[in-house]
Chain A
Amino acid sequence: MPPLLRRALVRLLEIIPVLWVVITITFLMARWVPGGPFQNERQLSPEAQKHNMEYYGLDKPLLEQYKIYLSNFLHGNLGVLYRHPDWTVNELLAKKAPVSAELGLWATLVALVAGLGAGIISASRPRSKRDYGTMGVAMVAICLPSFVLGPILLLVFGLKLQWVNVMGWNTMGDRVLPSLVLGLYYAAYIARLTRGSMLEVRTQDFTRTAQAKGCSSSRVLVVHVLRNALGPVIAYLAPTIAGLVTGSFVVESIFQIPGIGRMFVEAALNQEYQLLIGVTVLFSAILLLCNWLADLVITALNPKAAVD
């Protein structure tokens, strides 16, 4: 088997035990805490609460509940919602995940295009006005987290200028501000990373060789420098996706987008265990897969990195 394929398979198999650990930790964290999803409902008499707990098997010993949950999970059944019994977790995730995924994809696009673009612009002429200007903007973007930028942009473009809708997720126009707000921080970080990495590659001998043999400067920049400078950027993509996933909690709540993020917060507050575990496992799985992909791309680009 070629070493790259072997590495890919081994790394993919390693994800399974990690996911199992995630399920176990989340389950223990959620179920160890006293109380339950019905405790906050004042209308329910203690008898009704007890009946509900029995009905959903929440009164069984912890180990037994864990076994039941795992076996359901392996059969692809993520459980039910205690407070909205006509919904299952599977249905809810299937309905809301696409919205979050779309938001995440747009934001990733913003982060990559704006970040790489700005990085190339500043690295093409280091220590020029252009460079300092771009990096200054990037620094500002890093210090303006989504929960500051989001409401302010909404105030200006939504309420004062009325260019976009204040909330909702219906038209293409509704996608602009949320994706921008979510992606900008990562765009700024990627810009700084690209610039630093490109400047480092520029000092290496092969760049000078390319220049000496008469490549145009833009060709040197893109083919020789950028390609070799991409490693750190790709390695950063996995944490970017992680940040986008959790960042979407805030953006979804600012722009009232019906995605998973808002649901997760409510699930935690209401002790909807099965939803909580479902969302956590979904996020972890996405993240682990992204890490796996990033590792693969880095190894393919630079086989030397696989050795250490």
Chain B
Amino acid sequence: MWGDAWRRFCRHKVALASLIFLALMALMCVTGAVGVVLKMSFGFGWPYSHEEQNLALGAKLFTSGHWLGTDLLGRDLLTRLLVGGCVSLTVGFLATSMVVFIGVTYGMVAGYAGGRVDRFMMRIVDILYALPFTIFIIMLVVLLDKPVQNKLAEYHLGNWGPFCKLCLLFLAIGAFEWLNMARVVRARTLELKSLAFVEAARALGRRPWRILWHHLLPNLAGIIVIYATLSVPAVILLESFISFLGLGVQPPLTSWGDLINQGASNMELYPWLLIYPSVFFSLTLFALNFVGDGLRDALDPRADKAA
């Protein structure tokens, strides 16, 4: 199944190009971030760090050594873009893994249990679906931030603050984004449940958990991969959205949404501070969406291609 899917995926030229682009982007961001960590702890590995200021230099479009220019405080924009990209992509993938975990478990249990349990569980999903969950994510992130920071300060772990904020962000996003995954997985589980091989496994006396794990999960893998890929851009968008509002990642750490926000507030005099992050962000989003579409075509040929 996977070999065929890979061949079908490769025929989709744009999707393949997007995948290569994403791999390069991720590699660059990780290299940059690792370089910055090395630079900050040992003083070598990367020419700048994302918080190293050079006030005498100020905001420049292009100087030797700063290929994408510097921001108002003279910080190297390329370094900040790579670190910000690493943060955005990390939040994207961690939140997506949470989405996959909750959504798949919930959907499979609801679908396999069926009957009243199923109806009850899906009613909860319906209700959650009808709520403005971005609002709840914002509330969760903002309200929980202060107590968490206070607790950290109590245990003299104050410098883990930005990191914890990040965790809070992806936990909050993951806690609300799993609904779509649960719906799709449940629908497919219902279909699979009535097939002969599941009946056979049940007749052989397999326990429900074993059936879910050994028989259903491998058959669900295709759509799980598709919807996970499609939820990565959605999650990254949400993270940037929250960071753009100034509620997400806190300075000096940064993310693409935060960089776009800073760029937008200085765009009159220093338009490149807005344009470079926007280009990085939009291209990545573009590539993620195309990879998602390509995977859907490759793994699930009969899927509805509209949405």
Q: Which residues of A contact B (CB under 8 A)?
A: 18, 21-22, 25-26, 29-30, 33-35, 139-140, 142-145, 147-148, 150-152, 154-155, 159, 189, 192-193, 195-197, 199-200, 232, 236, 238, 242, 245-246, 249-250, 253-254, 264-265, 268-269, 271, 276, 279-280, 283-284, 287-288, 291
Residue of B135, B136, B274, B304 most packed against chain A (CB within 10 A): B135
Cβ contacts under 8 Å, A30 to chain B? 139, 143
Tally of B interface residues using CB under 8 Å: 44
A253, B289: Cβ atoms closer than 8 Å: no
* A232, B281: Cα distance in complex, Å: 30
Measured in the bound complex, the distance between the Cα atoms of B246 and A288 in whole Å is 28
Shortest Cβ gap from B268 to chain A (Å):
6
Please indicate the chain A residues that have their CB under 8 angstroms from the CB of B268 in the complex.
155, 159
For B143, the chain A residues whose CB sits under 8 A away are 29-30, 33, 268, 271
Flag B131-157 by CB within 8 Å of A: 1 or 0 each: 110111011101110110010000000
Give Cα A253 to B247, complex, Å: 13
In the assembled complex, the CB of B69 is this many whole angstroms from the nearest CB of chain A, namely: 16
Within B260-302, the residues touching A (CB, 8 Å) are: 260-261, 263-264, 267-268, 271, 274-275, 278, 281-282, 285-286, 289-290
With contact pairs A139-B289, A142-B289, A152-B278 given, residues A195 and B130 touching in the complex (Cβ less than 8 Å): no
> Could you show 29 A-B contacts with beta carbons less than 8 Å apart?
A18-B127, A18-B131, A21-B127, A29-B136, A29-B139, A29-B140, A140-B286, A142-B289, A143-B289, A148-B278, A151-B260, A151-B278, A152-B278, A154-B267, A155-B267, A159-B267, A189-B307, A196-B304, A196-B305, A236-B307, A238-B130, A264-B138, A268-B143, A268-B247, A269-B247, A276-B139, A280-B136, A280-B139, A287-B132
Alpha-carbon gap, A246 to B286, bound state (A): 22
- Whether B306 sits at the interface, judged by CB under 8 Å, is yes
Report whether over half of chain B's contact residues are helix, strand or loop; otherwise say mixed.
helix
Q: Using A147-B241, A193-B306 as known contacts, say yes or no to A268 and B134 having CB atoms under 8 A apart.
A: no
Measured between alpha carbons, how far is A307 from B248 in the docked complex, in Å?
Answer: 43
When distances are taken between beta carbons in the complex, the residues of chain A under 8 Å from B290 are 139
> How many pairs, one residue from A and one from B, have CB atoms within 8 Å of each other in the complex?
125
User: Which residues of chain A are within 8 angstroms of B237 by Cβ–Cβ distance?
Assistant: 145
Evaluate contact between B244 and A147: CB separation under 8 angstroms.
Answer: yes
Shortest CB–CB separation between residue B288 and chain A, in angstroms?
9
Question: In angstroms, how far is the closest chain B Cβ from the Cβ of A87?
Answer: 21
Q: Which residues of B contact A271 (CB under 8 A)?
A: 143
Chain A residues closer than 8 Å to B79, beta-carbon distance: none
Closest to B14 in A: A139
| Residue in chain B with minimal CB distance to A31 | B143
Question: B132, A245: Cβ atoms under 8 Å?
Answer: yes
By Cβ-Cβ distance, the 9 closest A-B pairs, closest first, are A196-B306, A151-B264, A246-B134, A268-B142, A143-B286, A143-B285, A147-B244, A148-B278, A283-B132
Q: How far is the CB of B219 from chain A (nearest CB, A)?
A: 23
- Cα(A164)–Cα(B260), bound, Å: 22
Selected contact of A254 from candidates B132, B140, B144, B264, CB within 8 Å? B264
Contact check, B244 vs A34: say whether CB atoms are below 8 A apart: no
A250 touches B244 (CB 8 A): yes
A147–B307 CA distance with the chains assembled, in angstroms = 23
Contacts of B104-133 to chain A: CB distance below 8 A: 127, 130-132
Beta-carbon contact of B241 and A145 below 8 Å: yes
Q: Quick check: B144 and A280 within 8 Å, CB to CB?
A: no
Q: In the complex, which residue of chain B has the Cβ closest to the Cβ of A270?
A: B142
Which of B140, B143, B150, B306 is packed against the most chain A CB atoms within 10 Å? Answer: B306
Given contacts A33-B144, A147-B241, whether A155 and B305 have CB atoms under 8 Å apart is no
Could you say which residues of chain A place their CB within 8 Å of the CB of B134?
A: 242, 246, 249
What residues of chain B lie closer than 8 Å to A26, measured between beta carbons? 139
